[in-house]
Amino acid sequence: MSRYLVLIPADEAAWDATPQEEKERVYQAHGDFAKLLADRGHTFVAGAELAPSREAKVVTGPLDGVTVTDGPYAETAEQLSGFYLVDTEDVEDLCRCIGRLTGAGESIEVRECRGGGM
């Protein structure tokens, strides 16, 4: 079995302007996605919606000379807005399941986690 990180980007300004009713529809799609994973034999390990990038901390420098600045790391329209960590033996099916979360023109990145714990 392999572990995959599902990275969900979003345009934070657009999300902030989204009506609550539409946000609830998106949250329901995520609930449906979690159920679909279980129904198809994938194991949900962890997942979360992330705080906005404007609340991030960017850390640079070595242990004794760390510099911390307020985020985000990159000035882009889209930021990482959430993630899922999933164990599966069938990454192709996992990718099909992710289709539950994507709309026209939207993309979600899937990466295999390699090696032991860090």
Residue 118 is predicted with a pLDDT of 56
Q: What rounded mean pLDDT belongs to the chain? A: 90
* CATH class, 2-112 region: alpha beta
Predicted model pTM: 0.86
Residue 76 is predicted with a pLDDT of 67
- Using pLDDT thresholds of 50, 70 and 90, give the confidence band for residue 104: low
- Using pLDDT thresholds of 50, 70 and 90, give the confidence band for residue 103: confident
Give the separation between CA 73 and CA 54, rounded to whole angstroms.
9
Give the separation between CA 11 and CA 56, rounded to whole angstroms.
15
Domain extent listing, the chain: 2-112
pLDDT of residue 72 exceeding 90: no
Q: Is 69 exposed, middle or buried (0-12, 13-18, 19+ CB in 10 A)?
A: exposed
